[in-house]
Homo-oligomer: A and B are copies of this chain.
Amino acid sequence: MDIVDHRYDFVDKATYRNGMSRLGTSVNVVTTKAGGQRYGFTASAVCSVSDTPATLLVCINRASSCFHAFEKAHHFCVNTLMPGQEDLSELFGGRMPGRERFALGEWGEGLTGVPVLANASVSFECELTNAVDEATHRVLFGRVIDIRENEENATLLYCMRRYISG
């Protein structure tokens, strides 16, 4: 594949963030276990890739405080939040150290030992199959080995810098 030489300036950070704020996304807490310790962070950058085989991707900032755990992890879990779980979104997106984040919410374990949120909208337990660095982030590709769905049909969304119910 040919990659073109850059001939255009890129938009600045503020312009990009304003534009991106218009895209609605689910709100997800992505978790893993490393060295017997649980880690997790809030991510909007979760995306379906393929249903054959079931594959999704998650983007993680390589400068994030829990990157070291995800860098070594073979498994991770995408826990998509429900309306009413805004506090979990804020906690896992904030500055609280990793281990203290799990004090909030009811956390179980998946097939591979990764933390699974008991009352998430949906949880996707994944096996890492590929990882690609792009700009400041790493894209983690995961094959989905287990899914747990909430009985209630609802999802927490974030759009235009506010939470809404989907």
Residues of A within 8 A of B (CB): 1-4, 6-13, 15-20, 22-26, 44-57, 59, 61, 71, 74-75, 80, 111-112, 121-122, 124, 127-132, 134-137, 139, 141, 143-147, 149-150, 153-155, 157, 159-160, 164, 166
What residues of B have a CB within 8 angstroms of the CB of A143 in the complex?
6, 10
Q: Is the CB of A19 within 8 A of B122?
A: yes
Q: Can you list 9 A-B pairs with a CB-CB distance of less than 8 A? A: A1-B71, A10-B53, A13-B52, A19-B124, A23-B48, A26-B159, A47-B57, A47-B59, A159-B166
Q: Is the CB of B137 within 8 A of A49?
A: yes
In whole angstroms, what is the CA distance A59 to B111 when docked?
28
Q: Which of B74, B122, B139 contacts A23 (CB 8 A)?
A: B122
What residues of B have a CB within 8 angstroms of the CB of A9 in the complex?
145
Q: Is the CB of A74 within 8 A of B4?
A: yes
Q: Which of B71, B75, B144 contacts A16 (CB 8 A)?
A: B144
Q: Is the CB of A4 within 8 A of B128?
A: yes
Q: Is the CB of B45 within 8 A of A48?
A: yes
In whole angstroms, what is the CA distance A18 to B56 when docked?
14
Known contacts A13-B54, A134-B49, A137-B49: A145-B8 contact under CB 8 Å? yes
Q: Which of A11, A61, A150, A155 has the most CB of B within 10 A?
A: A11
Q: Is the CB of B144 within 8 A of A11?
A: yes
